[in-house]
Protein backbone atom coordinates (compact mmCIF):
# COMPACT_ATOMS: atom_id res chain seq x y z
CA UNK A 1 0.00 0.00 0.00
CA UNK A 2 1.26 3.47 -0.86
CA UNK A 3 2.20 5.68 2.11
CA UNK A 4 2.20 9.09 0.39
CA UNK A 5 -1.18 10.00 1.88
CA UNK A 6 -0.24 9.26 5.50
CA UNK A 7 3.16 10.91 5.02
CA UNK A 8 1.43 14.02 3.67
CA UNK A 9 -0.96 14.18 6.63
CA UNK A 10 1.99 13.70 9.01
CA UNK A 11 3.82 16.56 7.26
CA UNK A 12 0.78 18.85 7.33
CA UNK A 13 0.18 18.25 11.03
CA UNK A 14 3.79 19.23 11.72
CA UNK A 15 3.44 22.35 9.59
CA UNK A 16 0.11 23.23 11.18
CA UNK A 17 1.17 22.76 14.77
CA UNK A 18 4.75 24.01 14.77
CA UNK A 19 5.39 27.40 16.32
CA UNK A 20 8.39 27.83 14.03
CA UNK A 21 8.68 27.00 10.34
CA UNK A 22 9.56 23.35 9.67
CA UNK A 23 11.62 22.39 6.66
CA UNK A 24 11.79 19.19 4.62
CA UNK A 25 14.73 17.84 6.67
CA UNK A 26 12.81 18.18 9.94
CA UNK A 27 9.68 16.66 8.46
CA UNK A 28 11.66 13.78 6.94
CA UNK A 29 13.25 13.08 10.31
CA UNK A 30 9.82 12.83 11.93
CA UNK A 31 8.25 10.79 9.11
CA UNK A 32 11.25 8.46 8.99
CA UNK A 33 12.15 9.04 5.36
CA UNK A 34 14.48 11.23 3.34
CA UNK A 35 14.11 14.93 2.62
CA UNK A 36 13.86 14.45 -1.16
CA UNK A 37 10.72 12.31 -0.67
CA UNK A 38 9.21 15.03 1.53
CA UNK A 39 10.10 17.68 -1.07
CA UNK A 40 8.13 15.68 -3.67
CA UNK A 41 5.12 15.67 -1.34
CA UNK A 42 5.41 19.34 -0.45
CA UNK A 43 5.71 20.24 -4.13
CA UNK A 44 2.37 18.51 -4.78
CA UNK A 45 0.78 20.15 -1.73
CA UNK A 46 2.09 23.52 -2.87
CA UNK A 47 0.77 23.03 -6.43
CA UNK A 48 -2.65 22.28 -4.91
CA UNK A 49 -2.61 25.53 -2.92
CA UNK A 50 -2.49 23.82 0.48
CA UNK A 51 0.95 25.05 1.61
CA UNK A 52 3.64 27.43 0.52
CA UNK A 53 7.34 27.72 1.17
CA UNK A 54 8.29 30.80 3.11
CA UNK A 55 10.40 33.26 1.16
CA UNK A 56 13.68 33.95 2.92
CA UNK A 57 12.82 31.44 5.64
CA UNK A 58 13.42 27.74 5.54
CA UNK A 59 10.06 26.07 6.08
CA UNK A 60 6.43 25.82 5.08
CA UNK A 61 3.10 27.27 6.15
CA UNK A 62 -0.53 26.37 5.51
CA UNK A 63 -2.35 28.64 3.08
CA UNK A 64 -5.68 28.18 4.86
CA UNK A 65 -6.84 26.99 8.28
CA UNK A 66 -6.55 23.26 9.01
CA UNK A 67 -10.34 23.03 9.40
CA UNK A 68 -10.71 24.10 5.75
CA UNK A 69 -8.36 21.45 4.35
CA UNK A 70 -10.27 18.24 3.70
CA UNK A 71 -8.58 14.86 3.67
CA UNK A 72 -10.03 14.45 0.18
CA UNK A 73 -8.19 17.58 -0.98
CA UNK A 74 -4.96 16.20 0.49
CA UNK A 75 -5.53 12.77 -1.07
CA UNK A 76 -6.23 14.18 -4.53
CA UNK A 77 -3.21 16.47 -4.45
CA UNK A 78 -0.80 13.82 -3.22
CA UNK A 79 -2.05 11.02 -5.43
CA UNK A 80 -2.49 13.42 -8.37
CA UNK A 81 -5.96 12.11 -9.19
CA UNK A 82 -9.41 13.60 -9.68
CA UNK A 83 -11.22 10.91 -7.69
CA UNK A 84 -10.41 8.27 -5.11
CA UNK A 85 -9.05 5.12 -6.69
CA UNK A 86 -8.10 2.34 -4.30
CA UNK A 87 -8.87 -0.91 -6.08
CA UNK A 88 -7.63 -2.34 -9.37
CA UNK A 89 -8.95 -5.41 -11.12
CA UNK A 90 -6.64 -7.97 -12.67
CA UNK A 91 -6.57 -7.54 -16.43
CA UNK A 92 -6.56 -11.01 -17.99
CA UNK A 93 -9.30 -13.22 -16.54
CA UNK A 94 -10.11 -16.34 -18.54
CA UNK A 95 -13.30 -15.78 -20.59
CA UNK A 96 -13.72 -19.57 -20.85
CA UNK A 97 -14.45 -19.62 -17.10
CA UNK A 98 -17.80 -18.37 -15.77
CA UNK A 99 -16.04 -16.50 -12.96
CA UNK A 100 -13.40 -15.10 -15.30
CA UNK A 101 -16.08 -13.94 -17.72
CA UNK A 102 -18.06 -12.09 -15.02
CA UNK A 103 -15.50 -10.91 -12.49
CA UNK A 104 -14.78 -7.48 -14.03
CA UNK A 105 -18.36 -6.15 -14.15
CA UNK A 106 -19.07 -7.62 -10.74
CA UNK A 107 -16.07 -6.03 -9.06
CA UNK A 108 -16.20 -2.74 -10.98
CA UNK A 109 -19.62 -1.92 -9.52
CA UNK A 110 -18.67 -2.97 -6.00
CA UNK A 111 -15.32 -1.19 -6.07
CA UNK A 112 -16.86 1.96 -7.53
CA UNK A 113 -19.43 2.16 -4.71
CA UNK A 114 -16.75 1.61 -2.04
CA UNK A 115 -14.49 4.27 -3.55
CA UNK A 116 -17.40 6.73 -3.69
CA UNK A 117 -18.13 6.09 0.00
CA UNK A 118 -14.45 6.62 0.82
CA UNK A 119 -14.45 9.86 -1.15
CA UNK A 120 -17.47 11.11 0.82
CA UNK A 121 -15.83 10.18 4.14
CA UNK A 122 -12.57 11.93 3.19
CA UNK A 123 -14.48 15.03 2.09
CA UNK A 124 -16.17 15.15 5.50
CA UNK A 125 -12.91 15.04 7.46
CA UNK A 126 -10.35 17.81 7.80
CA UNK A 127 -6.72 18.21 8.74
CA UNK A 128 -8.02 19.77 11.96
CA UNK A 129 -9.81 16.47 12.73
CA UNK A 130 -6.43 14.72 12.48
CA UNK A 131 -4.80 17.30 14.76
CA UNK A 132 -7.62 16.90 17.30
CA UNK A 133 -7.42 13.09 17.15
CA UNK A 134 -3.69 13.28 17.80
CA UNK A 135 -4.27 15.63 20.74
CA UNK A 136 -6.79 13.21 22.20
CA UNK A 137 -4.36 10.31 21.76
CA UNK A 138 -1.61 12.26 23.53
CA UNK A 139 -3.91 13.14 26.44
CA UNK A 140 -4.95 9.50 26.83
CA UNK A 141 -1.30 8.41 26.90
CA UNK A 142 -0.50 11.05 29.51
CA UNK A 143 -3.37 9.83 31.71
CA UNK A 144 -2.22 6.21 31.41
CA UNK A 145 1.34 7.17 32.32
CA UNK A 146 0.11 8.98 35.45
CA UNK A 147 -1.81 5.93 36.66
**For residue range 37-86, what is the model confidence (pLDDT) as tens digits?**
999 999 999 999 999 986 666 889 999 999 999 999 999 999 999 999 88
Q: What percent of the chain has pLDDT over 90?
A: 83
Residues 9-18 have pLDDT tens digits of: 999 999 999 9
pLDDT at 56: 61
Average pLDDT for 85-91: 89
- Cα separation, 88 vs 104, whole angstroms: 10
Query: Helices 35-47 and 4-17, interaxial angle, to 10°?
Result: 80
User: With the C-alpha atoms ordered 10, 15, 19, 21, is the resulting torsion angle positive or negative?
Assistant: positive
114 pLDDT higher than 80 = yes
User: With the C-alpha atoms ordered 36, 37, 38, 43, is the resulting torsion angle positive or negative?
Assistant: positive
Q: Which of 64, 75, 81, 82 is nearest to 124 (CA)?
A: 75
Q: Is 33 helix (H, G, I), strand (E, B) or coil?
A: coil
pLDDT at 55: 61
- Cα separation, 53 vs 33, whole angstroms: 20
Q: What percent of the chain has pLDDT over 70?
A: 97
pLDDT at 25: 94
1 pLDDT higher than 60 = no
Amino acid sequence: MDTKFSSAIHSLIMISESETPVNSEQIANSVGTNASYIRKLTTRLSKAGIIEGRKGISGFRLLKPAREISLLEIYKSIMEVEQVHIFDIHQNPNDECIVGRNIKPTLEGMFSRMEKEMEEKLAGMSLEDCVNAMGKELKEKELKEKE
